[in-house]
Structure 1
Amino acid sequence: MKILAPIDGSDCSIRAVEFAVELAVRFDAELHVVHFSDSETDATDIVLDRARDAIAGTDLDSEPELSLLELDVVPGNQVGKEILRLVRERDVDHVVMGHHGSGTIERAILGSAAETVVRDESVPVTVVP
């Protein structure tokens, strides 16, 4: 089993990584943690460090893949499409991601990236508040 946990550095995305770790341990799964950004900066390093901290000291059998994927632009719906691309490329079985409301009423429940992934219905998704 392969689990993908996209992160944006928010508290809810770090909680999602913690949940993804528990899921990976329980099902002896391979964990992929990914952050999308338009460039690598100190801020992206902080996001990845927060994810490493959430993973440190857990009972994972193998070191999770932790990566930064650079995009030219990173609006939420584009990130959602990139997550779905990774699902297909890496043959992911489950996505675990955080959400926080932003913008329109439709996105008050799910962030636009989470909304894009959930609506696609091609992979099971656990959304962590």
Structure 2
Amino acid sequence: MDVLVPIDGSENSFRALEFAVRFADGFDATLHVVHFSDEATEATDEILAHARAMLEEGGVETEPELATDIQLEFRPAERVGENVLELVEENGYDHVIMGHHGSGTIERAILGSAAETIVRAEKVPVTIVP
């Protein structure tokens, strides 16, 4: 089973990654960790380094990736959700595990929600970790 784990550097996304490491161990799954950004920066390097350390600690042999998308400036959460769905279709992932910020109705109306975009698409099973 191939599992995609998108991370954004938030505490919620790292909790999802921690869950994904245990999930992978229990289901003999292969993890694919990705961080979306409009450009590579010191902050993206730190996010990937933290993810790499978590994966190594969990005994998972995979390298987190940075995926750049210049369109993230407009409705970034919704765009990230679309990017995740594109990766699922391109690479045939079987499952997505991701964190969710639990933003309220107003925030979702303005910013969208990556997790909501993926769940509503109904293209792949999704585990949402709060």
Q: C-alpha offsets along residues 100-121 of structure 1, whole Å, 9 cap, x if unaligned?
A: 034644739xx61111001111
For 1:71 and 1:125, how far apart are their aligned partners in 2? 23
Alpha-carbon distance, 1:30 to partner: 1.0
For 1:81 and 1:55, how far apart are their aligned partners in 2? 25
Number of aligned residue pairs? 125
TM-score by length of 1: 0.89
Q: In structure 1, what is the equivalent of residue 69 of structure 2?
A: 71
* Structure 1 vs Structure 2 CA RMSD: 1.7
For 1:56 and 1:30, how far apart are their aligned partners in 2? 14
For 1:38 and 1:106, how far apart are their aligned partners in 2? 21
Would you identify which runs of 4 or more consecutive aligned residues in structure 1 move more than 6 Å? none
Aligned partners of 1:17 and 1:97 also within 8 Å: yes
Q: C-alpha offsets along residues 31-90 of structure 1, whole Å, 9 cap, x if unaligned?
A: 100000010000001111111122122233xx1241000000221111101100101111
TM-score by length of 2: 0.89
